[in-house]
Amino acid sequence: MRLASKTALITGGGSGIGAATARRFAAEGARVAVVDLDGDAVHSVASEIEAAGGAAVAIVADVSVASAVEAMVATTEEAFGRLDVLFNNAGIMHVDDGDAETTEEAVWDLTMDINLKGVWLGCRYGIPALRRAGGGSIINTASFVALMGAATPQLAYTASKGGVVAMTRELAVIHARENIRVNAICPGPLRTELLMRVLDTEAKRDRRLVHIPMGRFGEAVEIANAALYLASDESSFTTGTEFVVDGGITAAYVTPE
């Protein structure tokens, strides 16, 4: 098993990428701390893992609150004795996120608090735990829009994910000599509740699909598979990267330097 003896903490673990990754990691032998603000969802995922013979603990936490993030890391170490993989995955895409003129300040602040501050807090409290374990892997969920403009205005989301990529690069450099690797996954559009709630009509979905060379939305498990590589020892010489899993969008639209 690719994650045997490792402990992973996954935020946003109640649905979408987080839930798919929690199941995938557990299937590869990891003990998983599943974190989400939705208590019912996170307990459901943890129970499913345990029913399949895996080890999991459900933690309800708001990743934008420092005390909650500190507690989720402490709970993980108490439950499993160590932390080897930190997947800062929790995020939102607000339906009222637009351009600079139309996005309300409250939408901007909420998006930054969860998508960017939440990653920083995860690293703030997770890095000491990884250090106590002798090193490990941090995976931060960014987005393909961190590398290019979005076809539909979503300024707060795009800016927050750009910040995640920049923070990932710097943390990778800072902690490289401590055996702590830090990488960002940049998913393309996925068939998850998060995006489908925004693309709530066939016309909106078709507009997004026309930009994807593969002609389809990605699936959460496809991102979970990418996270598995970054969590495992197979990626031992990989740090500071933007791991793009986007169906070819950036290849088609980003101009090489």
pLDDT tens digits, 131-141: 999 999 999 99
Summarize the confidence of residues 179-198 as an average pLDDT.
Answer: 86
Q: How confident is the model at residue 256 (pLDDT cuts 50, 70, 90)?
A: low
Kindly state the greatest CA–CA separation across the chain: 51
Q: What is the pLDDT of residue 189?
A: 85
Q: What is the pLDDT of residue 205?
A: 73
256 φ/ψ angles, rounded to the nearest 5 degrees? -60, 145
- The predicted-structure confidence for 18-54, as pLDDT tens digits, reads as follows 999 999 999 999 999 999 999 999 999 999 999 999 9
Domain positions in the chain are 7-244
- The predicted-structure confidence for 136-160, as pLDDT tens digits, reads as follows 999 999 999 999 988 788 999 999 9
pTM (two decimals): 0.94
Under 8 Å CB-to-CB from 14, ≥6 apart: which residues?
A: 34, 36, 37, 38, 40, 41, 42, 44, 45
State the first-to-last Cα distance of the chain, in angstroms, to the nearest integer. 39
Q: How confident is the model at residue 75 (pLDDT cuts 50, 70, 90)?
A: very high
Q: What is the pLDDT of residue 105?
A: 98
Pick the catalytic residue from 125, 157, 229, 253.
157
pLDDT exceeds cutoff 60 at 180: yes
- The predicted-structure confidence for 85-132, as pLDDT tens digits, reads as follows 999 999 999 989 999 999 999 999 999 999 999 999 999 999 999 999
pLDDT exceeds cutoff 70 at 200: no
Whether residue 157 lies in the annotated active site? yes
- Name the token pair of 40: 């019912």
Under 8 Å CB-to-CB from 53, ≥6 apart: which residues?
A: none
Q: Is 7-244 a CATH 3.40.50.720 domain?
A: yes
CA dihedral for 27, 247, 85, 111, sign (positive or negative): negative
